[in-house]
Structure 1
Amino acid sequence: MSSTQATQPFRFLDLPGEIRNNIYDLLLCSWEDEVEQDPTMSSKLSRRSPSNPSSSLLRANKQIYAEASDYMIKRNQFVRITCRGLDSRNLFLGEGIPVITTDARKVSLFDGHVMHITLSKPAFAPSPFQFSEFEIMMLRSDLPKLCEQLDIESVMADANSTTSEHASINASIRLNYAHTRFFTPKIQERLLEPIASSLRGVPDIKISGFVDAALAESVRNQVAQPRWTEPDATIEEIGTGVDVGKRQWQQNNFYSASESWAYAMRTLERMRHSSSWIGLQKAGGEDFVNKTADLYFTLNLFHAQFLQVDMANDQSQGPLVQRNGRVAIQHLRKCETAAARFAQHAGATWTPSNQQSAKMLFRHARCLRLMRDTANSVRAVTLIEEAAALAPTDIAIRDEKDAVLAWEAELEEARRLLAEQSQASHVERRSIWSSVWDAVTELTS
């Protein structure tokens, strides 16, 4: 009798509904607080893993599957995000954004999401690359962090290189009718709130599915608003990043300073290529555009300055020095063209001061010297002499001038010795051939 009782299956469905829901919650809706890096994902994303992975429960029988999957979907509220024609590497500002998976096949096969967000570049927008479709499945509870870190301005920069017009990213939101038709407006609002709070500069976002009309219109209006509206506040925001970086640099926190400047530069670039720019330019006038150009010059100069820290380190390997040097020169070229760029596209009248120009020339000359770019040593001398003429009392420039002239003198000496060796070798070869010819002549005479 006891043997018969022991082999009888456990009658899970006989448990009270509240207990079954608690079990579903524990096994299907509990997630680890800590996210983990996954090498198969973008570096900006991290995996959110279930605490007690027990998907086998869904395969027990049809009734349990229906009940458990319904509870899991409503409780977790999965959100699917599809990105088309966008560079996913530049789509997010920060790191550690929790997602469940980016496996396109798994995402496409799972229809248990309550909301599907699609972001795409307009077909007419130019792009040097054709990026493949990128899929994300995540929890609704993690959606606010993703929306806060979403950078739709950077991925549209190539389509908005001028200020005469602005192309917006295409965005659509579809609530899954199968799972949301019983959702109250309050739950719908909770689903859409991260988008309404963080997404900006998209004038024609499409919202479909079973959603309250007034709520959808409110979200559309919020998302259509420009991200930056006050010229002075925008300049102050970027300028604060510059000043924080300066203080960190003075404290020898070079990498922290670089991060502050990089964030300020990204903010400036995002603002410059966003729908906000035209309004800011009109409100702030020429003064705003000139201040923006000045910040653009300054931040590129600081980036070159940071890259030369490792270049000047005696322990740095050659490949690192060359890579940093190439990137630093790219930033310095942006400094060189800053005035013309902003004058052409935004009517700026700003030009760099003598001190700014001197620093740019100094950094360029130093870069060529640290790279040991012998082919451009004469140019390095010209650059540092121009810098010294613009800022004759700058100690750093005077010291670099001495270093560049000493380097050029070494190279000139090496060239002289090489020329002498070449000449001696040439004379020796002529002497040998002359002796051989004399011998041949003597034999034939």
Structure 2
Amino acid sequence: MAPATARPFPFLSFPREIRDKVYRELLCNFDPPPTKVLPSTMFTFEQAKHSIDTAVLRTSTQIHREAYDVMVKTNRFVLIESAGGLPIRSIMGGLRVPVITADRDCAQRFKGYVLAVSLSTKKPAWRDDEAIPTGPCGLMILGRDVRLFCEAFTDGDNHMPGFSANLSLTITVGPAVAHPVPRYKNTLTDFFGETTQKTLLHPFRSRLRGHKGICVTGCVSPDLAKAVQTEIAQDECADHQKVFDDFAAAKERGLAHFRAKDLTAALLAWQDTALDIERIHRGSSWAGLATRGGPDFLARMAELYFLLELNIAHVHLIGMERGIPNYPTFDFQAEQALEMARSSIKKSFWADDWKWQPSAVQKAKLCYRTALFLRLEGRMEHAGAAMAWVEQALRLVPGDAAILREKEKIAAWVELGG
């Protein structure tokens, strides 16, 4: 009896909607972005996790044409390119933006992008090094992660002073259309209609503000391109009173957590608020806010930020002394908060030739917490500095019970060490 001959699977006999479901399962199966950011991963790209099998693209001309079409239109791949001088790795690593490939040659060889974002800076502030690379790069992300990419770039001024003022950004819609179309691929021209254009550009116009050097080009209507450029160029904040009120309310929310003994929630609320203040302070909106608000606005913002940093240091000091459940406390975070508080009261920190002067009680808190930090850190070579800080605090508020107790503890520490 002759052996039965295996018949090819009749895949093309299935309805197109069934075939498209198969293509999506094989070519569009990416895991969601991560929800946690670890300090150890802050300067590395987050590799997009997936279960993609591209073998279907090598099956036949028709199947390749159909599958490639579904893959590109569903995943909506985006090319991110930097000419250099920008800390792209640290900016995107801060929010764990998933990257499909960070291989520049590989990313540039692919031709099925729905968007291309080209970044450059007029004044590179950092040199390229192993710790924070700023050299040229090219990488691929998914269209779904453009919002996260934009959110990461709102923190650019925290990574690099003058980032937003010096950034040049070109957004090209439909770069795939500019390439010749092989016979085994469909043209994507019809895909970039008005609805798709608006969808692709929505994350930029809703998330980015204060960037003046923006150009929107490619398969996009002139009116839409102009609208997006205008919206992105607008200052993020214009109402100085609202800016202050929002930050003051955020500080109070942290205080409510602290009073409820939820130290982790309080710390996160205060840290987020302080970072947002730093971002706006370093961004393009600040000059206008300072002009409109004048010295009164500057004084209120300076005091708010100073107290936020003291609060952040306070929680970390509690953590150093007795621990915070479920939250890793690091000595350097307390030290950093105290350093930021000290920096914020220096001349020209908030505006040229302008200085905010804290009250005696506020300055005493800074001195006291600095002394406490040095004692808890436990480095005997800093014992003399700890005593100097606590004595300065007592000169500012003589007879304060907490400060007197801390002086006694430092004296006992010095005696024990001696």
Using the size of structure 2 for normalisation, the TM-score is 0.82
Q: Contact (CA 8 Å) 1:177, 1:209: kept in 2 or not?
A: no
Q: Contact (CA 8 Å) 1:384, 1:397: kept in 2 or not?
A: yes
Look up the SS of the partner of 1:117 in the other structure: strand
- The structural deviation recorded for 1:263 is 0.8
Aligned position for 1:110: 110
The one of 222, 228, 231 equivalent to 1:222 is: 231
Aligned position for 1:439: none
Structure 2 vs 1, CA of residues 345 and 139 (structure 1 numbering), >3 Å: closer, same or farther? Answer: same
Aligned position for 2:274: 265
Q: Contact (CA 8 Å) 2:361, 2:397: kept in 1 or not?
A: yes
Q: Distance in 2 between matches of 1:210 and 1:57?
A: 29
Query: What one-letter code is carried by the residue in structure 1 that aligns with 2:28?
Result: C
- The structural deviation recorded for 1:401 is 1.8
**Is 381-390 or 142-151 further displaced after alignment?**
142-151
The one of 138, 158, 161 equivalent to 2:161 is: 158
CA offset digits 1:340-366 (Å, max 9, x no partner) = 234673453520101111111111222
Q: Distance in 1 between matches of 2:17 and 2:376?
A: 71
Structure 2 vs 1, CA of residues 27 and 329 (structure 1 numbering), >3 Å: closer, same or farther? Answer: closer
- The structural deviation recorded for 1:231 is 0.8
Q: Distance in 2 between matches of 1:254 and 1:330?
A: 18
Q: Contact (CA 8 Å) 2:210, 2:284: kept in 1 or not?
A: yes
Q: Contact (CA 8 Å) 1:35, 1:49: kept in 2 or not?
A: no
- The structural deviation recorded for 1:46 is 5.2
Look up the SS of the partner of 1:312 in the other structure: helix
Look up the SS of the partner of 2:166 in the other structure: coil
Q: Distance in 1 between matches of 2:255 and 2:217?
A: 48
Structure 2 vs 1, CA of residues 93 and 347 (structure 1 numbering), >3 Å: closer, same or farther? Answer: farther
Structure 2 vs 1, CA of residues 156 and 37 (structure 1 numbering), >3 Å: closer, same or farther? Answer: closer
Aligned position for 1:251: 260
CA offset digits 1:241-297 (Å, max 9, x no partner) = 322222323333333222212111111111011110111011111111112221232
Q: Distance in 2 between matches of 1:236 and 1:404?
A: 39
Query: What one-letter code is carried by the residue in structure 2 that aligns with 1:151?
Result: T
Structure showing greater radius of gyration is 1
- The structural deviation recorded for 1:388 is 1.8
Q: Distance in 2 between matches of 1:153 and 1:61?
A: 46
Query: What one-letter code is carried by the residue in structure 1 that aligns with 2:140?
Result: M
User: 1:140-219 residue pairs with structure 2 within 5 A?
Assistant: 140-154=143-157, 157-159=160-162, 167-175=165-173, 176-178=175-177, 180-182=188-190, 183-219=192-228
Q: Distance in 1 between matches of 2:323 and 2:273?
A: 30
Q: Unaligned regions of 5+ residues in structure 2, if any?
A: 178-186
Query: What one-letter code is carried by the residue in structure 2 that aligns with 1:390?
Result: L
CA offset digits 1:355-407 (Å, max 9, x no partner) = 11111111122222223333343332232122123223533212112212333
Q: Contact (CA 8 Å) 2:85, 2:125: kept in 1 or not?
A: no
Q: Distance in 2 between matches of 1:117 and 1:238?
A: 32
Query: What one-letter code is carried by the residue in structure 2 that aligns with 1:143?
Result: V
Q: Distance in 2 between matches of 1:405 and 1:143?
A: 56
Aligned position for 2:64: 65
- The structural deviation recorded for 1:70 is 2.2
Structure 2 vs 1, CA of residues 362 and 65 (structure 1 numbering), >3 Å: closer, same or farther? Answer: same
Q: Distance in 2 between matches of 1:36 and 1:340?
A: 37
Q: Unaligned regions of 5+ residues in structure 1, if any?
A: 161-165, 415-445
- The structural deviation recorded for 1:73 is 1.2
Query: What one-letter code is carried by the residue in structure 2 that aligns with 1:132?
Result: G
- The structural deviation recorded for 1:92 is 5.0
- The structural deviation recorded for 1:200 is 1.0
Q: Distance in 2 between matches of 1:140 and 1:308?
A: 42
**Is 399-408 or 261-270 further displaced after alignment?**
399-408
User: 1:364-379 residue pairs with structure 2 within 5 A?
Assistant: 364-379=370-385
CA offset digits 1:188-219 (Å, max 9, x no partner) = 11111111111111112122212111111111
Aligned position for 1:286: 295
Q: Distance in 2 between matches of 1:222 and 1:48?
A: 30
Aligned position for 1:421: none
Aligned position for 2:396: 390
2:348 pairs with 1:339? no
Q: Contact (CA 8 Å) 1:339, 1:348: kept in 2 or not?
A: no
Query: What one-letter code is carried by the residue in structure 2 that aligns with 1:119?
Result: L
Q: Distance in 2 between matches of 1:379 and 1:359?
A: 16
Q: Contact (CA 8 Å) 2:95, 2:148: kept in 1 or not?
A: no
Q: Distance in 1 between matches of 2:245 and 2:365?
A: 24
Q: Distance in 2 between matches of 1:141 and 1:148?
A: 13
Structure 2 vs 1, CA of residues 168 and 237 (structure 1 numbering), >3 Å: closer, same or farther? Answer: farther
- The structural deviation recorded for 1:104 is 3.8
| Aligned residue-pair number | 398
Aligned position for 1:360: 366
Two-structure CA RMSD over aligned residues (Å): 3.4
Q: Distance in 2 between matches of 1:376 and 1:107?
A: 51
CA offset digits 1:272-324 (Å, max 9, x no partner) = 11110111011111111112221232222223223322332499xxxx99x71
Look up the SS of the partner of 2:351 in the other structure: helix
Q: Distance in 2 between matches of 1:380 and 1:36?
A: 40
Q: Distance in 2 between matches of 1:67 and 1:138?
A: 22
